[in-house]
Amino acid sequence: MILEPPTELTHAFVEKHPSILPPAHVFTVASGKGGVGKTNVVANLAAALTMMKKRVMVLDGDLGLANVDLFLGVHPKSTLADFFAGRKGLADIITPSHLGIMLLPAGSGIQALTALTDEQKIAFLTELDALTHELDFVLVDTGAGISDTVTYFATGAHEIIIVVTPEPSSLTDAYALVKVLASSYGEKRFWILANNVGGEREGRRVYETLSRTALHFLNTSLDFLGWIPKDPELARAVSRCQLVVTIAQNSPSGQAFGIVAEKLLQIAGDRARVKGNLQFFLARLLAAVREGK
Ligand X SMILES: Nc1ncnc2c1ncn2[C@@H]1O[C@H](COP(=O)(O)OP(=O)(O)OP(=O)(O)O)[C@@H](O)[C@H]1O
Dist CA 40 CA 237 (whole Å) = 10
Identify which of residues 38 and 158 has a Cβ nearer to ligand X in the complex. Answer: 38
**49 HSE (CA, 13 A, CB side):** 28
Minimum Å gap between C-beta 62 and Mg ion is 5
Query: How many C-beta atoms surround the C-beta of residue 77 within 10 A?
Result: 11
The yes or no reply on residue 149 touching ligand X (CB under 6 A) is no
The yes or no reply on residue 230 touching ligand X (CB under 6 A) is yes
Minimum Å gap between C-beta 159 and Mg ion is 19
The yes or no reply on residue 39 touching Mg ion (CB under 5 A) is yes
Strand pairing of 191-197 and 159-164? parallel
Which range of residues in 28-36, 85-93, 99-107, 110-118 is near ligand X by CB under 6 A?
28-36
**268 HSE (CA, 13 A, CB side):** 22
Dist CA 114 CA 293 (whole Å) = 7
By CB under 6 A, name the one of 22, 37, 76, 203 that touches ligand X: 37
> How distant is the alpha carbon of residue 191 from its chain centre?
11
Site string for ligand X, 53-92 (x = CB under 6 A): ---------x------------------------------
Task: Residue 27: name the closest of 224, 180, 191 by CA.
Answer: 191
Which range of residues in 77-85, 122-130, 231-239, 269-277 is near ligand X by CB under 6 A?
231-239
Chain positions contacting ligand X, by CB under 6 A: 31, 34-40, 62, 143-144, 195-196, 228, 230-231, 234-235, 238, 253
